[in-house]
Amino acid sequence: MNTVPERFVVPIGPQHPALKEPGHFEFTVDGEQVTAASVRLGYAHRGIEKATEGRNWVQNLYLLERICGICSHIHATAYCLGVEKLAGVTAPPRAQAIRVVVAELERIHSHLLWLGVAAHEAGFDTLFMYSWRDRETVMDILEALTGNRVNYSANLLGGVKFDMTPELQDMILKGLEFLEQRTHDYVAVVTTDATLLQRTRGVGVTSREQVEELGLIGPTARASGALRDLRVESPYAAYADFPIVPVTATEGDLEARFVVRLKELFESYRLIRLILEKLPEGELQARMPRKIKPAETISRVEAPRGELFYFIKSNGTDQPERIKVRTPTLCNLASVCILAVGSQLADVPMILAGVDPCFSCNDRAVSIHSTKLGEKQWTWAQLRQYGIDYYRR
């Protein structure tokens, strides 16, 4: 008889019932215990960064918004802030405040969406349906504000596209009142429901040290006690005038991640009300030049999932020389492979959902195993040949 324990690999994805996005995972299991995990990404890699070099500054705004449909506004905000910095233009205060209002509304929609998806992973479909029903309230607000439910296109280079009318303000306040009351219910559910707590309390614990080691960001890091929030650390747009109070927890388990994200919602409701009350008067858009002189800059904003980073380089024409995007999922995804090892296979979907992964955001880089050629650095010709060989069928 064979005495060596057999390795059994459970492949998951890229088409799988749990997540709505393509990602391929391989979990090696011993019984129910996961002993190794690996991830294969790139199913949603479209080549956006290269495509930006062939489009002008205005066209890129709409392309970059479609990096991710969930956090589209924050991608456009990061891009606009960067390009405005390059051109030496500052958007008027009213435009900056409206940007923050839309960004916080987007955070509300994204966190409610995540609550539903995470509850679905835990097998708690009732919470999934409730949270998605309530999410329609914020979708209605976003639609009334911008005219579209997803990919709002609220930003323009140098400002925003629409004004905040008194009727819209009334609608937003009414919607927020309903959502605030519902969020209180959700906090009660995720902290007291015994069935859900069995799936979340003490599962996937990330220590404060691991946050530093793995470079985690966003709500995932804040649930482990690390204060990482760019809205506080380096305020952009109108966050300097309207500061937020960061939410953190110390436990680092999945329950803490639920609680941190839900408590952030209250902070968003408070901030939106404050901004609507003290909305600065003035213009909506500053004048932007068509061409931008050669320079380079970085732009960092806090997306719903963590820090979003843009590097933008101009070359004097109406098109960018290079745009590099680093999205929060890239930083957080590594933690899944570490945390999954040693846990039960049934907990793995929850651990994965716990970082709120977004593969559409993430899949802009192709990782190459350097062992194939035995070299760390590749020339352009080698890289090109690798690409041609890889996709030749």
Partner 1 sequence: MTWQQVVDDFKTWARVNSPWVVHFNTGSCNGCDIEILATLTPRYDLERFGVKLEGSPRHGDVLICTGPVTLQARDRLLRVYEQMPEPKFVIAVGSCAISGGVFQGCYNIIGHVDEVLPVDVYIPGCPPRPEAIIDGVVKLLGHLKDPAPQANIEEAN
CA distance 138 to 144: 10
Q: Is 226 in the site for partner 1 (CB under 8 A)?
A: no
Q: Is 132 in the site for partner 1 (CB under 8 A)?
A: yes
Q: Is 123 in the site for partner 1 (CB under 8 A)?
A: no
- Give CA angle at 319 (313, 321), nearest 5°: 35
Q: Is 287 in the site for partner 1 (CB under 8 A)?
A: no
Q: Is 340 exposed, middle or buried (0-12, 13-18, 19+ CB in 10 A)?
A: buried
Cite the DSSP H helix spans in 156-304: 166-192, 194-200, 208-214, 218-222, 230-233, 254-277
Task: Give the residue carrying structure tokens 């995804």.
Answer: 333
Contact indicator for 43, 23 with CB cutoff of 8 Å? yes
Question: Quick one: which of 9, 32, 33, 46 contacts partner 1 (CB under 8 A)?
Answer: 46
- Give CA angle at 296 (292, 297), nearest 5°: 110
Q: Is 303 in the site for partner 1 (CB under 8 A)?
A: no
CA distance 368 to 360: 19
Question: Quick one: which of 129, 245, 346, 373 contacts partner 1 (CB under 8 A)?
Answer: 129
Question: Quick one: which of 26, 35, 42, 251 contacts partner 1 (CB under 8 A)?
Answer: 42
Write each residue from 5 to 34 as x if it is in contact with partner 1 (CB under 8 A), else as -, in one continuous string: ---------xxxxx-xxx------------
Tokens linked to 172: 């937003």
Residue type, 229: D
Binders in 50-69 for partner 1, by CB under 8 A = 50-51, 54, 62-63, 66-69
Question: Quick one: which of 91, 139, 203, 312 contacts partner 1 (CB under 8 A)?
Answer: 139
Question: Measured from the CB atom, is 341 or 345 closer to partner 1?
Answer: 345
Question: Quick one: which of 45, 270, 273, 326 contacts partner 1 (CB under 8 A)?
Answer: 45
Q: Which stretch binds partner 1 (CB under 8 A): 134-142, 204-212, 236-244, 286-294?
A: 134-142
Question: Measured from the CB atom, is 369 or 376 closer to partner 1?
Answer: 369
Q: Which residues contact 319 (CB under 8 A, 6 or more apart)?
A: 53, 54, 55, 56, 57
Tokens linked to 291: 């061409």
**How far are the Cα atoms of 48, 50, 67, 232 from residue 45, in angstroms, in the given order?**
8, 11, 10, 32
Question: Measured from the CB atom, is 222 or 364 closer to partner 1?
Answer: 364
User: What is the total residue count of the chain?
Assistant: 393
Question: Measured from the CB atom, is 153 or 169 closer to partner 1?
Answer: 153
Residue type, 166: P
Binders in 153-192 for partner 1, by CB under 8 A = none
Q: Is 133 in the site for partner 1 (CB under 8 A)?
A: yes
Q: Is 249 in the site for partner 1 (CB under 8 A)?
A: no
Binders in 318-377 for partner 1, by CB under 8 A = 358, 360, 363
- Report how many residues bind partner 1 under the rule CB under 8 A: 42
Sequential DSSP letters for 284-303:
SB----SS--SEEEEEEEEE
Question: Measured from the CB atom, is 120 or 231 closer to partner 1?
Answer: 120
Binding site for partner 1 (CB under 8 A): 14-18, 20-22, 42-48, 50-51, 54, 62-63, 66-70, 72, 113, 116, 128-129, 132-133, 135-136, 139, 149-151, 358, 360, 363, 391
